[in-house]
């Protein structure tokens, strides 16, 4: 049996980037051969094994045959006769279809190295259109490598548009879409992911319940502009996504809490199956943006309600994150008053009222009154 390093590790090595995880292909072996060496089988549908010590993935060389619609409509064939080249041919991009032997020889039947030099994300073969997940993968890889000058090859982009037009993209599960989107948010230039998906018309398949008139939110120039600025200023993916929806849904900004923007953001993110932490923070930012630049005109009890909705008493860092996101859109205002207000509210101690005999609802009311008074004092000062 021969073992080759493949995929992202070879690509990143030739790009001179740190290697995150290593994938291996095994040629000329039966599953039994790996099992007897102590490898653990992990693949449900594919013959994939984990190395007994490194726990890296080793896959038997395989080919794929399209048998039905969507990204699960495949059967895979594996046998000791399948060559390395045949395995590389089923991969998405030429730069991902290179292998390295144990002696360090590069095997590159599809011109991956040349495309690395040309900085092109280019499909390996017309079979690219057999798996719609590749639309998301390519958009994400652009988000990762665009800062190095990479572009999507025009002929590959044509195939991506085809996958979006023929409905195949809507067969990708919501969970898988979210996984790619969430990964894209951690890349160097996440805005390329959103922009690419807009240009190949992927959003109608990804968010089918959305009103067609709303698809334009993904192309508003100011949305991408502020999203880019946000990504340049912070790396936290919850904050980054909130910056996207802030300008996508709530622009131009209305005065006072914008509950419609909050609801719409919530609906979109729930459709995307985003985890709660994303849904809550993004919808808060979209709804309460005005608080940032119009604080002095807000009634104290509304400010208190906003702090509570943000869970800022228990997680004060959320208030800082909110201020950072709004700052991208509005520029920097003095944020100390927010910190002072939060501190003043947290300094209202329940013991003080308990000792005076307040309990239950009355206790809650007394605490809120004291917190509002503390906020009002800072508003007046």
In the shown chain, the binding pattern of residues 42 to 81 toward ligand ATP, with x for contact by CB under 6 A and - for none, equals ----------------------------------------
Partner in contact with 134, chosen from ligand ATP, Mg ion, none, beta carbon below 5 to 8 Å by kind: ligand ATP
Relative to beta strand 40-41, strand 23-27 is: unpaired
Integer Cα distance of 180 and 123 in angstroms? 19
The interface region with Mg ion, picked from 17-25, 241-249, 264-272, 340-348 by CB under 5 A, is 17-25
Return the residue of 3, 8, 256, 316 that touches Mg ion, per CB under 5 A: 8
Integer Cα distance of 114 and 110 in angstroms? 9
| 133 makes contact with ligand ATP (CB under 6 A) | yes
Residue of 121, 77, 133 whose CA lies nearest to 97: 121
Return the residue of 17, 21, 79, 277 that touches ligand ATP, per CB under 6 A: 21
Q: Is 104 helix (H, G, I), strand (E, B) or coil?
A: coil
Relative to beta strand 151-152, strand 120-121 is: parallel
- State in angstroms the smallest separation of the CB of 286 from ligand ATP: 30
| 91 makes contact with ligand ATP (CB under 6 A) | yes
The interface region with ligand ATP, picked from 129-137, 233-241, 315-323, 372-380 by CB under 6 A, is 129-137
| 96 makes contact with ligand ATP (CB under 6 A) | yes
Q: Is 153 helix (H, G, I), strand (E, B) or coil?
A: coil
Residue of 313, 3, 11 whose CA lies nearest to 145: 11
Which residue, 21 or 81, has its beta carbon nearer to Mg ion? 21
| 232 makes contact with Mg ion (CB under 5 A) | no
Q: Is 152 helix (H, G, I), strand (E, B) or coil?
A: strand
Return the residue of 92, 108, 168, 180 that touches ligand ATP, per CB under 6 A: 92
- With contacts defined by CB under 5 A, how many residues of the chain interact with Mg ion? 2
Q: Give the containing element (helix H, strand E) for 24.
A: strand 23-27
- Tell me how far CA of residue 81 lies from CA of 85, 321, 348, in angstroms: 11, 55, 74
Which residue, 43 or 327, has its beta carbon nearer to ligand ATP? 43
Integer Cα distance of 98 and 108 in angstroms? 5
Phi, psi of 315 (to 5 degrees): -130, 75
Partner in contact with 112, chosen from ligand ATP, Mg ion, none, beta carbon below 5 to 8 Å by kind: none
- The footprint of ligand ATP (CB under 6 A) covers 7-8, 20-21, 23, 91-92, 96-97, 131, 133-134, 137
- The footprint of Mg ion (CB under 5 A) covers 8, 21
């Amino acid at each position: 049996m021969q073992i080759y390093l493949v995929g992202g590790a070879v690509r990143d090595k030739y790009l001179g980037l740190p290697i995150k995880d290593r994938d291996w292909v095994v040629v000329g072996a039966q599953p039994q051969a790996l099992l007897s060496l102590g490898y653990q089988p992990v693949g449900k549908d594919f013959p994939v094994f984990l190395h007994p010590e490194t726990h890296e993935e080793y896959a038997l060389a395989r080919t794929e045959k399209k048998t039905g619609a969507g990204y699960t409509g495949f059967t895979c064939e594996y046998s000791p006769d399948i060559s390395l080249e045949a395995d590389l041919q089923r991969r998405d991009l030429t730069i991902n279809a290179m292998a390295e032997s144990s002696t360090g020889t590069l095997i590159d039947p599809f011109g991956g190295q040349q495309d690395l030099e040309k900085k092109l994300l280019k499909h390996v073969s017309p079979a690219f259109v057999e798996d719609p997940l590749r639309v998301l993968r390519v958009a994400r890889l652009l988000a990762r490598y665009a800062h190095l000058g990479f572009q999507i090859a025009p002929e590959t982009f044509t195939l991506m548009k085809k996958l979006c037009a023929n409905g195949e993209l809507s067969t990708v599960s919501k969970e898988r879409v979210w996984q790619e989107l969430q990964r894209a948010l951690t890349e160097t230039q996440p805005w390329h992911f959103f922009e690419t998906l807009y240009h190949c018309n992927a959003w109608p398949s990804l968010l089918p319940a959305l009103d067609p008139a709303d698809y334009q939110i993904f192309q508003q120039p100011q949305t991408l502009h502020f999203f880019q600025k946000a990504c340049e200023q912070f790396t936290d993916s919850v904050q980054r996504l909130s910056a996207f929806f802030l300008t996508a849904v709530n622009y131009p900004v209305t005065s006072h809490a914008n509950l419609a923007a909050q609801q719409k953001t919530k609906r979109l993110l729930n459709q995307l199956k985003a985890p709660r932490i994303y849904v809550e923070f993004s919808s808060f930012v979209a709804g309460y943006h005005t608080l940032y630049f119009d604080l002095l005109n807000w009634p104290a009890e509304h400010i208190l309600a906003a702090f509570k909705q943000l869970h800022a008493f228990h997680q004060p860092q959320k208030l800082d994150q909110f201020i950072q996101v709004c700052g991208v859109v509005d520029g920097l205002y003095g944020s100390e008053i927010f910190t002072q207000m939060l501190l003043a509210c947290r300094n209202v101690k329940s013991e003080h009222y308990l000792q005076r005999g307040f309990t239950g609802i009355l206790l809650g009311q007394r605490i809120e009154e004291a917190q509002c008074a503390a906020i009002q004092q800072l508003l007046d000062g």
